[in-house]
Amino acid sequence: MRDKIQALLTEIEGLKASSVAELEALRVKYLSKKGLVSVLFNDFRDVPNESKREVGQLLNELKNKAQEKLNAIKDELGSNQSEAEKLDLTRSPEPIALGTRHPLSLVKNEIIDIFSRIGFTIAEGPEIEDDWHVFGALNFPPEHPARDMQDTFFIEQNPDIVLRTHTSSVQTRIMSAQKPPLRMLFPGRVYRNEAISYRAHCFFHQVEGLYIDKDVSFADLKQALMYFAKEMFGSSTQIRLRPSYFPFTEPSAEMDISCNLCGGKGCPFCKHTGWVEILGCGMVDPNVLENCGIDSNVYSGYAFGMGVERITNLKYQVKDLRLFSENDVRFLRQFKSAY
């Protein structure tokens, strides 16, 4: 056994290879499961007990010498290869293109981050909803003309099941399930049966907010929205609130910001008014509170809602809503440095 080990050790010391293929052949010959070194290890069981310690050490030394010799040949072959031969054709091409966040995701996350600084948390709900949570609980009684304000997708098998037209449906679920105080944001996708064009789509994204507690006033709403506008569009941004109508808030308002392109001086983007509408808001109607099991004599609150596409248009001057859902990489690559 000792003679076999010594003979194999001498043989290994003289090994040479001129290519990677020859090196692999040597590895298989000596170190594979059926290689010459492995065969000697298999024969080790027949060695007398008194010689096992010495022979075992010799076998380990042989295996280590074989591995060291093959590694040395490999290093020598590597240093002699040309640059073309060193290329690993299995690697991904370089530079590896990095993905980008979608502009709607960027803006949605920024909106959430701004309101989270003043205590708002996140809640989400189903996109397929029942009529009560989308309309009934929000002061839309059957046959009420206010339902015509939103073109709804109804589920054909069940007319009481719809694709939600606003994320206010999540508000009604939260108000019905949790007790005030509530200070929450509701981001999500909504659906309306509208013709697709550069300014409208059959689906879009909203972020709505709700704050309910004792002694909440319209002044609290105005302060929160002023904070949001300045954080999103810059410290010089001004806001104005115009009276409006929504079935689920009273009083209701629409909020404009000073045009971030002309600074309020007037330009084609703001139709030379100096103002751009960005969201609707108001104090939660007492009927809505009562419908959701909240005592309107004790609690009051405000709500607001904005379209993420609208805010993205203002922030990045995107003029065609269809770009957000066409997955054109030329458009998406423009937002590489935006996150």
Mean pLDDT, contiguous 10-residue spans, the chain (339 residues): 80 83 85 82 78 81 85 77 61 69 91 95 92 88 66 77 90 94 95 82 92 96 96 91 93 91 75 89 95 95 94 85 86 72
Please tell me the distance from the alpha carbon of residue 128 to that of residue 126, in angstroms, as a whole number: 5
SS3 at position 106: helix
Q: What is the pLDDT of residue 93?
A: 67
What letter does residue 4 receive in the DSSP assignment?
A: H
The pLDDT of residue 81? 57
| Torsion from C-alpha of 253, 190, 261, 326, nearest 10 degrees | -170
State residue 149's pLDDT score: 58
Sign of the four-CA dihedral 18, 19, 20, 26? negative
Quote the CA–CA distance of 250 and 146 in Å, as a whole number. Answer: 14
pLDDT at 99: 73
pTM for the complete prediction? 0.68
Q: What is the pLDDT of residue 126?
A: 92
Per-residue pLDDT at 115: 96
Q: Class of the 103-338 domain?
A: alpha beta
- Residue whose structure tokens are 């074989």: 66
- Residues in the chain, total: 339
Specify the pLDDT at position 268: 74
Task: Quickly tell me which residue has 């508000």 as its tokens.
Answer: 171
pLDDT at 145: 63
* Residues paired with 210 in a beta bridge: 184, 303
Q: Give Cα separations from 3 to 7, 40, 126 (angstroms).
A: 6, 11, 78
pLDDT at 84: 54
